[in-house]
Amino acid sequence: MKRDPLRTQRIAFFLLLLATLLVVVPVGLIVVIIVQKGFPAISWQFLSDMPRQGMRAGGIFPAIIGTLYLVSGAIIFALPIGLLAAIYLSEYARDNLLTRAIKLAIVNLAGVPSVVYGLFGLALFVVFLKFGASILAGSLTLGIMILPLIITTSREALESVPQSFREVSLSLGASKWQTIRHIVLPNAIPGILTGTILGLGRAAGETAPILFTVAAFYLPQLPRSIFDQAMALPYHLYVISTQVPNVEEKITYGTALVLLTIVLFMNLVAIIIRYRFRKMKKW
Amino acid sequence: MRRIKEFIIEVLIFICGIASIFFVLLIFLFLLKEGFSLFKFIPFGNFLFGKNWYPISEPAQLGILPLICGSLLVTLGAALISIPIGVACAVYITEIAPAKVKDVLKGGIELLAAIPSVVLGFIGMVTLAPWVKKLFGLPTGLSALSGSIMLAFMAMPTIVSIAEDALYSVPKSYKEGALALGATHWQTIWRVMLPAASSGIVAAVMLGIGRVIGETMAVMMITGNSAVIPHSLLQPVRTLTATIAAEMGEAVVGSEHYFALFAIGIVLFVISFVINVTADLFLHRRK
Amino acid sequence: MVKFQLRNINAWFGAVHALKHVTLDIEQKEILSVIGPSNSGKSTFLRMLDRMNEIHPDFKMTGSALFDGADIMRIDRESLRKRVGMVFALPLPLPLSIFDNVAYGVRMHGTRRKKDLSVIVEQALTQAYLWDEVKDRLNESAFKLSGGQQQRLCIARTLAVEPEVILFDEPCSGLDPISTAKVEEAMLKLKETYTIVLVTNNVKQAARVGDRTAFFLSGELIEADKTDKIFTAPSDERTDGYIRGKFG
C-alpha cells in the first residue's frame, strides 16, 4: 500500500513543531515562574540589606557586591590577555602547527567542566600560590574560564574588518601594529564589547568555579580586600535552596530573580550592541 | 624608538597568543599533581573500577564506578531525550518556521543558553522533581530521570545551534535538486539534507553531550546524592561532577579524599578533551 | 636618472611562478604603462616595487631590485612604502572622514599638529583635483563621495605622504569615462613631480598616458620601449597581437 507522502509530511512537520515547542515553551515558563514567585521579595531593602537570621530574612546585598567584584576581576584578567591573543590569531598567526595547537587549546578550555576549573583554581591559586580562598583566586579562576569566549568573539570582530583597509594602511607606509591600532581595533570594538559583556554575564552566573576558591556561606562584613572571601549570588542561591531549611519561598525565588535579571540583562545589552553595530557598519 | 615599542608589543601579543596552550597545560599539570598522589595509596584499577565510594569511612573506600555509572546513566538519558528533540527543533527552525517566528524561537533558545545552571537546578528541584515523584510514585523525585530531563534541556542550545549551522551550510543545490525532482519538502529534509549535514549534526551532538557530562550544579541539585551503582533511571544517583562539588568542602587538603577528588577531575578533563577534539575534527572534516 | 633598477627578478606565490626573469629600468619622472592580459604578472610586478606582495605569507622573490641605487629588501619597509605610494583598482577609502583619510599616512609617519596637517591635506587634495569639491565638508565620512571622487581621494591620500614614485594598479577600472578622464589628467600633471608606474587593462589608456610601455605575458616581460614605438612597430609579434586585440 503506497503511503501518501504529503500525509507523511504533515505528520512529520507536526512532530517537529511539537519538539520545538517542548524546548521553547518551558523556557518561557521558567522565566514566568521565577518572576511571579520572586517579584514579591524584591524591594530596595532586599537588594541593599545584609542577610539576617541565617539567610532567612534581610537582604542579599553582600552577594550582589561579591558577584560584582568577582566579575570585574575576571574581566580585568581575561580582556587584555584575550584581546591580545585574538589579535595574534587574527593578524599574525600563520597557517601552521602552532596555530592549530592554539585553536585546539581554546576549544578545550571552552569545554573544560566548570567544576574542574574550580579544582584548578583551588590547587593553583588557593593552595599553591597561597592566595587562600579569596576574591583574587575566584576572579582569576573565572577569568581563565571566560578566556576562550573573549578570544573567540574578539577574533571574529577583528576578522570582520575588511582586508582592504589593512592593505591601504600598509601601502601608505604604516607598520603592522599601527594598522592594527588605528584601523583594525577601532572598527572591531563593538564586536569586542559584545563578547566582553557576554563573558561578564557568563562569569556572573557560574557557581562551581567559585565554590572552593572564594565563596563563603555567610560573612558578617563586606570584603575589604582582594584577599578576602566574598559571597556571591549563584552560590547564595545554591545554599539557601539546598542547605538552609525553612527559607521563605519568595526569598529563594527573589534571589534567583535577581541573578537571572543580571545575567539576562547583560546578554540583552550584548545583543543590542551587536545588532546596532551591524546596522551601523559603513562598509 | 617606535620600533622598540612596537617590538615589545608584538612580543606581548605572541605571548598572549600562546597563552591558551599554556593554560590548558597548566590545568592538566595541577590536576595531575594532586590527582596522581592518590595512586600512591590506591592502585589505579581500584580507583577506576572500585564499586564503593565511601570517602569518609575508615579506611576510605575510593572506587568511582558508581559515580561513573551515575554520570553515564544521566548522560545517556539526556542524550536519548535531547538528540531527537534537538535535531527536530533545528530542522523546524531552519526549514519550516516562518521568518518572524524563527527569530522568536532562536531568541528563546539563546535565552535558555544564558540561564545560569544553578537557577535551572533550583527550578528543577522545586518543579520537575516533585512532578517526577508524583508521576512514578517514588519516595523522592531527585533521581537520574529528573537529572536527565533537565540536562537534556540544558544541552538543547548547543545541539540546536550547531545542528542549525550544519543544516544551513548544506548547498542550496541539493535541496533545489530534490524538490525539482518532485520530492516533498519533508522527503528532501529526511533523505537529502539531514544526511548531507550529518557530520555537523554529529559534532553538535557530541558537544551537547560534552556539555552534559561537565554539568555540575543543576545535576547536583536534582539527581539526589546517592553514590551507589544505579539499577534504574528512577533512583537517585551521583555523578562525577557533583561528587567533586559536594565533597571538596569537607575534604582536608592533602588527604586521600582530597587527592581522589582531583583524580576524578583528571577523569573529567580527559573525557572532555577527547569529546572536544573529536567534535572539532568532525566540524573541520565537513569543511 | 634611473629610479628603479630591476635585474632578473623571479617571484613565486607558493608553487606558482608569477614573475620570470624580469629585467627593466624605470626612469625618474616618467610614466611607465604596464600592459598585458590577465594573470600576466602585471600586478605582481607592481606590488613588488613597494613590497606589498609580502602581505602574502607564501611569497618569495629572487633577483636584484634597486631603488635609487639601494636594495629594496635592505631599505626599511615602511620608509620604502612612504616613498613609493600606491593607488588601488577600486576606490578604497578608509572608514574615516575625508580629512582623516588624507591625513592618515602623514599621521602614521609622525606629523601630529592639526595646523601642519591642514596645510598638507589641502595641498594633496588640490593636486588630486578634488579640493574644490570637498573643501567645505572635510569632516564628512569619505563614503559619502561618489566613486570618482573617492578614487581622487585615494590619490590625494597617497600624495599627502610626499612619495617619489606613485604606483597605479588599474585605477580607473571601476570608474565612468568622465572620472577616468579626470584621473588621467591628474596623472599627466603629476608626472612633473613624480615617477609613475601605471598598470592598466585598457590598452588605449596606456597609449594616451605612458611615456614608455612595458608588455607582460605569463609572468615574462616581453618588451618595454617608448610608447610610440610599441604601438606602431613593436619588436615582438606577441606584443603586436595583444595590442591589436588578437588575444587577451
Residue from the list C55, C82, C95 with its beta carbon closest to the beta carbon of A187: C95
Length of chain C: 248
Residue from the list A165, A173, A187 with its beta carbon closest to the beta carbon of C105: A173
Give the chains touching B; criterion: ≥3 Cβ pairs < 8 Å. A
| ipTM of this predicted structure | 0.91
Query: Quick check: A234 and B118 CB within 8 A?
Result: yes
Cβ-contact A213, A141 below 8 angstroms: yes
Residue B169 lies in a domain: yes
CA contacts within 13 A on the Cβ side of C164: 13
Q: What is the pLDDT of residue B286?
A: 58
Query: Quick check: A173 and C57 CB within 8 A?
Result: no
The mean pLDDT of C50-76, rounded to a whole number, is: 93
Percent of chain C with pLDDT over 90: 70
Q: What is the CATH number of the domain that holds B253?
A: 1.10.3720.10
The domain limits of chain A are: 62-280
Residue B67 lies in a domain: yes
Residue B33 lies in a domain: no
CA of A156 to nearest chain C CA: how many angstroms apart? 19
pLDDT of C174 strictly over 60: yes
What does the alpha-carbon distance between residue C97 and residue C87 come to, in Å, rounded to a whole number? 18
- The string of DSSP codes covering C98-118 is HHHHHHHHHHHTT---HHHHH
Residue B210 lies in a domain: yes
The mean pLDDT of A78-84, rounded to a whole number, is: 96
Cβ-contact C215, C242 below 8 angstroms: yes
Comparing alpha-carbon positions, the chain C residue that sits nearest to A281 is C95
What does the alpha-carbon distance between residue B1 and residue B270 come to, in Å, rounded to a whole number? 47
Q: What is the pLDDT of residue A154?
A: 96
Query: Quick check: A20 and B105 CB within 8 A?
Result: yes
Query: Quick check: C88 and A168 CB within 8 A?
Result: yes
Q: What is the pLDDT of residue A275?
A: 84
Residue B96 lies in a domain: yes
Query: A57 falls in which pLDDT band (50, 70, 90)?
Result: confident
Residue B20 lies in a domain: no
Question: Best of C48, C49, C84, C92 to disrupt the A interface by mutation (most A CBs within 10 Å)?
Answer: C92
Query: A172 falls in which pLDDT band (50, 70, 90)?
Result: very high
Instruction: Return mean pLDDT, chain A.
Output: 90
Cross-strand partners of C85: C166
The model's pLDDT over B13-61, given as tens digits with 9 standing for 90+, comes to 999 999 999 999 999 999 999 988 888 888 888 888 888 888 877 777 8
Cβ-contact B178, B191 below 8 angstroms: yes
How far the first Cα of chain C sits from its last, in Å, is 33
What does the alpha-carbon distance between residue A283 and residue A137 come to, in Å, rounded to a whole number? 43
How many folded domains does chain B comprise? Answer: 1
Instruction: Return mean pLDDT, chain B.
Output: 89
Question: Best of A165, A168, A169 to disrupt the C interface by mutation (most C CBs within 10 Å)?
Answer: A168
pLDDT of B109 strictly over 50: yes
Query: A1 falls in which pLDDT band (50, 70, 90)?
Result: very low
pLDDT of B152 strictly over 80: yes
Angle between helix B240-247 and helix B65-91 axes, rounded to 10 deg: 120
Q: How many contacts (CB atoms, under 8 Å) link A and B?
A: 258
Helix (H, G, I), strand (E, B) or coil at A97: helix
Comparing alpha-carbon positions, the chain A residue that sits nearest to C51 is A171
For residue B272, the chain A residues in CB contact (below 8 A) are 108, 111-113, 116
Mention every residue, 6+ apart, whose C-beta is less than 8 A from residue B126: A241
The range of the structural domain enclosing residue B84 comes to 49-285
Percent of chain B with pLDDT over 90: 44
The model's pLDDT over A91-121, given as tens digits with 9 standing for 90+, comes to 999 888 999 999 999 999 999 999 999 999 9
Q: What is the pLDDT of residue A2?
A: 58
| The architecture CATH gives domain A62-280 | Orthogonal Bundle (1.10)
Q: What is the pLDDT of residue B287?
A: 53
Nearest to C169 by CA among C43, C11, C53, C48: C43
User: Which cell numbers in the block locate residue A70?
Assistant: 568577582
The mean pLDDT of B220-242, rounded to a whole number, is: 88
Cβ-contact A260, B119 below 8 angstroms: yes
Nearest to B147 by CA among B204, B198, B71: B71
The mean pLDDT of B223-251, rounded to a whole number, is: 88
This prediction has a pTM of 0.91
User: Which cell numbers in the block locate residue A19?
Assistant: 519538539
Burial class (CB in 10 A: 0-12, 13-18, 19+), C200: buried
Q: What is the pLDDT of residue B25?
A: 95
Burial class (CB in 10 A: 0-12, 13-18, 19+), A206: buried
Query: Quick check: A171 and C95 CB within 8 A?
Result: no
The mean pLDDT of B150-171, rounded to a whole number, is: 92
Cβ-contact A50, A62 below 8 angstroms: yes
User: Which cell numbers in the block locate residue B183?
Assistant: 520530492
Query: Quick check: A115 and B245 CB within 8 A?
Result: yes
Residue B43 lies in a domain: no
Comparing alpha-carbon positions, the chain B residue that sits nearest to A256 is B119
Cβ-contact B118, B220 below 8 angstroms: no
What does the alpha-carbon distance between residue A174 and residue C79 come to, in Å, rounded to a whole number? 9
Cis peptide before B43 (omega within 30 of 0): no
The listed range with the strongest mean pLDDT (A52-66, A157-171, B199-213, B249-263) is A157-171
User: Which cell numbers in the block locate residue B262?
Assistant: 582531583
Residue from the list A5, A12, A93 with its beta carbon closest to the beta carbon of B17: A93
Q: What sign results for the dihedral spanned by CA atoms B145, B151, B152, B154? A: positive
Mention every residue, 6+ apart, whose C-beta is less than 8 A from residue C239: C215, C222, C223, C230
For residue C79, the chain A residues in CB contact (below 8 A) are 173
Query: Quick check: C85 and A172 CB within 8 A?
Result: yes
CA of C6 to nearest chain A CA: how many angstroms apart? 20
What does the alpha-carbon distance between residue A253 and residue A36 come to, in Å, rounded to a whole number? 9
Residue B246 lies in a domain: yes
The model's pLDDT over A144-164, given as tens digits with 9 standing for 90+, comes to 999 999 999 999 999 999 999
Query: A225 falls in which pLDDT band (50, 70, 90)?
Result: confident
Cβ-contact A151, A86 below 8 angstroms: yes
Helix (H, G, I), strand (E, B) or coil at C11: strand
Residue from the list A8, A9, A112 with its beta carbon closest to the beta carbon of B269: A112
The mean pLDDT of B158-179, rounded to a whole number, is: 90
